[in-house]
Structure 1
Amino acid sequence: MDVLHTPREEGISLLHRAQRLLRQLRRWKTLHDQRHQLASLSDAMLKDIGLSRADAEREASRPFWDDPGKPL
């Protein structure tokens, strides 16, 4: 019997990988939505939060997988 790779442990590992994937997909969806919302703000709203239209467009143009919260 291989004590390092029991079917139960492999199932748990698969479950953890699936959960991690779902968390990542949710994070990407959130980033996409936030960037879309940022792009739709008026110039006055952007000024209120200290951003220019160019700043907002630059952020909104980033791909969904480009996560500023993820360590390099």
Structure 2
Amino acid sequence: MSARPVIVSPPSPTGGRRVRVNGETLGLAYDLGDLVEFLRRAGLEGLDEVEVTRSGLVEWRGGGPNVWTA
């Protein structure tokens, strides 16, 4: 299991990336704005689009924060 509570999965073939926080799937994000909104709803407020790309809380799988399509 990852030590990081936020997992951003590789892009799906149709676009978007699954977002999980502490093992719970929050949805499919299509860009950084979606990811920030999912995190806000999960109680991880205060992260904007720049901060989320640098945060040690996020584990990016299958590409970094600029990769949203397969």
Q: TM-score range by the shorter chain?
A: under 0.3
- Greater Rg over alpha carbons, structure: 1
Structure holding more helix per residue: 1
Q: Higher relative contact order at CA 8 Å, sep ≥6: structure 1 or structure 2?
A: 2
